Amino acid sequence: MKRVIPVLVLSVAGLIPVWRYEPSIGTTTSTTTEAVSTPTPTPTATSSSSSSASPSESAAASSKKVVQGTAINTSKGTVQVQVTFEGDKISAVSMLQQPNHPQTTAAVPVLIEETLKAQSSKIDTVSGATITSDAYVQSLQAAIDAKGA
């Protein structure tokens, strides 16, 4: 009988990977696991997730209401959003399911880093935080306008 126990332990250990295995037709990650396992029926049975987030359902103006959008299957995985309404205003939007796919997870483009340079050049106009007229007078745009006049 002493040998049985290690064998059982091994079988359990062998079962865990099987348990954790999910068919990989578009793997999804979830921030709220509960919501993934028990998707609540959406208020409007349409195919679009945005229409199910319509505030027309909320009757009480000031109450908080959480609405889950339809889970949408895309070629990159499943997308499902949850919208929190306070009255008829959206106060929060969260992703219940989003594709674990490079195009979603690495959407930030690689930024180019440079050193700050000061330069002058032939230009047509200047972008800058020029609000007050005092600063405008000494700004480049003033010079451009004076030249054009």
Partner 1 sequence: MGFPVSLRVDDEGIGEGTADALFAWLREVDARFSPFRPDSEVCRYDRGELQLRDLSADLTEVLDLCEQYRIATGGAFDVRLPGRPLDPCAVVKGWSVQRAAELLTAAGARRFILNAGGDVVVAGGPWRVGVRHPEHADQLCTVLELTDGAVATSARYERGDHIVDGRTGRPATGLLSLSVVAASLTEADATATAAFAMGPEGVDWAATRPGCEVFAVDAERRVRRTPGFPVVTVAA
Chain contacts with partner 1 (rule: CB under 8 A): 89-90, 92-93, 107-133, 135-136, 138-141, 144-145, 148
Q: Which is nearer to partner 1, 57 or 88 (CB)?
A: 88
Q: Which is nearer to partner 1, 20 or 147 (CB)?
A: 147
- Determine the Cα–Cα distance for residues 38 and 71; give it in Å rounded to an integer: 12
Report the residue number, 13 or 116, with the smaller CB distance to partner 1. Answer: 116
Cα dist. 135→80, 128, 130, 132, 139 in Å?
49, 11, 7, 6, 6
**How near is the Cβ of 83 to partner 1 at its closest, in Å?**
10
**Which residue's structure tokens are 């939007």?**
93
Closest CB to partner 1 among residues 5, 116 = 116
* Contact predicate 96/28, CB 8 Å: no
32 residue type, one letter: T
CB 140 to partner 1: min, Å: 7
Q: Give min distance, CB of 149 to partner 1, in A.
A: 11
Q: Minimum distance between the CB of residue 110 and partner 1, rounded to whole angstroms?
A: 7
Contact assessment for residue 78 and residue 28, using Cβ atoms and an 8 Å cutoff: yes
| Both tokens assigned to 70 | 């339809």
Nearest one of 30, 47, 24 to 97, comparing CA atoms: 30
Of residues 9 and 89, the one with the C-beta less far from partner 1: 89
**Least distance to partner 1 from the beta carbon of 68, Å?**
17
